[in-house]
Chain A
């Protein structure tokens, strides 16, 4: 199977997701105390940077199967926005507010974008023969 060189989208994506998960665990494990948001913000920023880097690296790939990528990504995005919306609802229902809510919401946004990118990339990286 001859395969062209592609950026390490899956590895970077998993690292990005791991950083978000770590931020979530940090915040959840300190409830209901008010803890510094700085570690969670740093983890979220690093995760968002990795997402941006992944999208940038992918955009520079010549001849990538973008049609297939977007065909998969749009439906996956819809599914993961629903999932992220449900998690957000659970936070809001439990009176999460202020800084923690902003950090958690942005984490969910990165999650809801990055997972569809990983799914669509895995599908589109194997072109039709």
Chain B
């Protein structure tokens, strides 16, 4: 019984052998599940594909919205008594203001005369400022703030477009979060039920291992790995249709002149791998907690 008091964990050849054995047990569990594996991985791949597609589209929509938002600006018309430089300085200090460009009334008048045949009258135009915000969702609040200033005669901006862009952006973000929750739940549900069946079919083996002194983690770990592996395999399958979708998305990006987002694609793949393996492992952990009494 000397071993009983002396079992500090040293990562030796023995531990490597045990790790190898854990992997063998994991693959044995997958092999034992037989044709069920195809249904599990197939279902999970379909779920991940839907999530991936929504996530990837949402990312693209985000880029599109951001690009559109960036070109939206507020035109501020100053009172004749106002000093353009001073007014621009004051507006620059406002929150969420990214850039202020002064459009001198002389330049505006010259442009107008270039475009239209106008009589030789005195320049009636005021000095104007073009204001850009750091995020299009703040355009309304910045505009409301500017219009209150006593040096401002009037303002103009595409309020409707700005509001719609903000709504689309919010909906796509909310949809991604909801779908992430649903995918997480479904993945865990599927893995949980599968691992419960596997545990049930290996009940005798588990009991013998337990009574013969096999470590608890050695008994549990193969099931956790099995759950993770299902997630990884499903992700690999889901990547195929998502790659095709990526091709179409790139075409749309080119059409609208939105910057190419290769990183978004890799971010999505990385997220899918992490998410599916973590949710897979969590699903297994749940069934171990409920069904595997050691």
Q: Do A and B belong to a common assembly?
A: no
Interface residues of B (CB under 8 A from A): none
